[in-house]
Amino acid sequence: MKKLLIIALLFVGCDIFQEEDCAGVLDGDAREDKCGVCDSDTTNDCIRDCSGVWGGDDIPIGYKAISGKCYFISDLNALDDIYRDCLGGNSGERKSTRWENGRLYYLNLKNIGLGCEIPESIGNLTELKELWLSYNQLYGEIPASFNNLTKLERLSLHDNNLSGNIENLVHLTSIKWMSISYNQFSGVIPDGINSLTMLSTILLHNNQIGGIIPDSFCEVVNDLSGEYSERNSYIDQNQFCPPYPECVNPQNIGNQNIDNCEDFECDEGNMKSGSFCYYQQDIDVLQDFISSNEGLSGKTPLEIGEQEWYGSRLTKLVLQNLELTYLPENISNLSSLEWLNLSINQLTTLPMGIGNLTNLYFLDLSTNQLNIEIPEYIINMNNLNRLLLNDNQFYGQIPEGLCYLPMAIQFFGYSNVGFNVANNNLCPPYPECFNFGEPFYDTNNNSIYDDADSLYGFIDLNNNNLYDFDYYISGQDTSECEYCIENPTDPLCN
């Protein structure tokens, strides 16, 4: 009797825990979706449309609604191809994507172990602006469909195993920044590279790209060198052949494997050294520097100081702290020179020829022994932005014409420090553009960088000369100046 009672209770208990589904079937598997439809087929469940309405019809042709948002189907398929082919999965949560109006415009899949060829379907991402695929194991060639990515602005493919030529990159007409370094790209730089008019930086280093760098590349990247900087290209560790175009700085070409390159000859008037051609007259001037200064003996023209060349012409020369005592008169032949630093030497005079260097925008003659008046020909250097004459023995007056050079621009009401004549023997009165007025004092007891968590606490700038540009004309020995003999009480006279 007890056994029968227990069995009966067990059957009753089972009925207690069973439930009916939405169709009234006990323990059935039918479910009611968000639109009130009851069935057991989950594939036809109600979804939110692109406006977030359950069961709504706001789903444009070519788009797919996911969680109340619209996505372009071709973009989703391209993502699926990447994840399926490279990771054995699908686009899943799309963690590294950004979308606008249902179109993918940003894709970042750096360093996630992608090991595949870049799928052809990537060309369907026609609204893509940034693509980051670096630090993976991608291989094969860049697909032809890359030509469709005309809105791409930033491309990062570096540190992969990609190969082939780079022809399919010259149609990225919106590209601004491109890095394809540390791959196995080969071939040459295509002439069509000059169609990339928006390009400012291209990094090509550590590949096998070779041949002659076309002049068209210089139209895009105006300072092609071995060192990275903005508006630049890093081209080290390739197989580029000489002669190199004008935008290549010989000092920055980096290491190139030129074993398979043909020999070349320089144009008339140039001399060949290594893989470059140099303007013979510029080389002659450098040789005269060596011949005239014992501190440079034993060196060759290309070994002295710091030099930069544009094409075959010398554009920058730094001969700082080399015990120079003499400047050759033919320095005037350095007609392309833009930067000249002769500071910390033993010069006592200047040749007239230096006045012909009208392309100079930087001239540093500071810390020498120049015992002359400031030459009037400096007024003709219409491009000068920096003129440093401090710590010499210049005497006489500052030429009024210096006020009309670019270096004399006004900065917050005071003359810019592009001109420095401190610690000389220059006589007042000084040109109006160098009358700085009263120094600016901070008398408000302000404490700039007053940060309790900072290492040094705060910097108290109370009663300091924040804009005292008089420093750049100070330290004059005016004892021999006629003006000061006549006006001994003038504060400008010491």
Q: What is the pLDDT of residues 30-79, one digit of tens each?
A: 677 667 678 777 776 677 777 777 766 777 888 888 877 888 999 999 99
What does the alpha-carbon distance between residue 83 and residue 71 come to, in Å, rounded to a whole number?
Answer: 17
Of the candidates 269, 291, 306, which is a domain's last residue?
A: 269
For the segment 375-421, what is each residue's pLDDT rounded down to a tens digit?
Answer: 988 888 888 889 999 999 999 999 888 888 776 544 333 444 578 89
Cα dihedral sign, 459-463-466-471: negative
Q: How confident is the model at residue 471 (pLDDT cuts 50, 70, 90)?
A: low
Over range 477-484, report the average pLDDT.
Answer: 92
Task: Looking at the structure, tell me whether residues 318 and 383 fall in a common domain.
Answer: yes
Task: Looking at the structure, tell me whether residues 108 and 207 fall in a common domain.
Answer: yes
Smallest CA-to-CA distance from 210 within 258, 162, 158 is with 258
* Domain membership flag for residue 234: yes
Phi and psi of 402, rounded to 5°? -65, -25
What does the alpha-carbon distance between residue 203 and residue 225 come to, in Å, rounded to a whole number?
Answer: 10
For the segment 323-356, what is each residue's pLDDT rounded down to a tens digit?
Answer: 999 999 999 999 999 999 999 999 999 999 999 9
- pLDDT given at position 230: 37
Task: Looking at the structure, tell me whether residues 290 and 238 fall in a common domain.
Answer: no
Q: Are strands 184-185 and 161-164 parallel, antiparallel or unpaired?
A: parallel
Q: How confident is the model at residue 490 (pLDDT cuts 50, 70, 90)?
A: confident
How many structural domains does the chain have?
2
Q: Is 152:172 a contact under the CB 8 Å cutoff? A: yes
The string of DSSP codes covering 221-262 is -SSEESS--SSEEE--SBEEESSPPTTB-GGG---B--TTPP
Quick check: 462 pLDDT over 70? no
Q: Which two tokens stand for residue 146?
A: 């890359």
Q: Is 335:359 a contact under the CB 8 Å cutoff? A: yes
Of the candidates 219, 243, 269, which is a domain's last residue?
A: 269
Distance between first and last Cα of the chain: 129
What does the alpha-carbon distance between residue 37 and residue 45 come to, in Å, rounded to a whole number?
Answer: 8
Query: What Å distances lie between residue 344 and 49, 304, 374, CA to CA?
Result: 75, 15, 18
Task: Looking at the structure, tell me whether residues 332 and 422 fall in a common domain.
Answer: yes
What are the residues whose beta carbons fall under 8 Å from the beta carbon of 85, sequence distance 6 or more? 116, 117, 119
- pLDDT given at position 285: 97
Q: Is 193:171 a contact under the CB 8 Å cutoff? A: no
Quick check: 201 pLDDT over 60? yes
Host domain of residue 188: 63-269
Phi-psi region of 166 (alpha: psi -120 to 50; beta: other; left: phi over 0): alpha
What does the alpha-carbon distance between residue 455 and residue 457 come to, in Å, rounded to a whole number?
Answer: 6
Q: Are strands 386-388 and 38-39 parallel, antiparallel or unpaired?
A: unpaired
Query: What Å distances lie between residue 263 and 272, 313, 413, CA to CA?
Result: 11, 21, 58
What are the residues whose beta carbons fall under 8 Å from the beta carbon of 41, sequence distance 6 or more? none
Residue 334: strand, helix, or coil: coil
Tell me, rounded to whole angstroms, the distance of Cα 359 from its chain centroid.
25
* Domain membership flag for residue 43: no
Of the candidates 238, 253, 269, which is a domain's last residue?
A: 269
Task: Looking at the structure, tell me whether residues 108 and 256 fall in a common domain.
Answer: yes
CATH no. for residue 212? 3.80.10.10
* Domain membership flag for residue 128: yes
Q: Is 139:163 a contact under the CB 8 Å cutoff? A: yes
- pLDDT given at position 60: 82
Q: Is 437:473 a contact under the CB 8 Å cutoff? A: no
Task: Looking at the structure, tell me whether residues 262 and 375 fall in a common domain.
Answer: no
Task: Looking at the structure, tell me whether residues 133 and 148 fall in a common domain.
Answer: yes
What are the residues whose beta carbons fall under 8 Å from the beta carbon of 257, sequence distance 6 or more? 210, 238, 239
Residue 410: strand, helix, or coil: strand
